[in-house]
Amino acid sequence: MKRSDSERDVAIFTEALKVPAQERGAFLDRECGSDKTLRRKLEGLLRAHDRLGNFLEERTGGPPVG
Per-domain boundaries in the chain: 5-61
22-30 LR contacts (CB < 8 Å, sep 24+): none
> What pLDDT, in 10s, does the model give residues 7-49?
999 999 999 999 998 999 999 999 999 999 999 999 999 999 9
pLDDT at 63: 58
Q: How confident is the model at residue 50 (pLDDT cuts 50, 70, 90)?
A: confident
23-27 LR contacts (CB < 8 Å, sep 24+): none
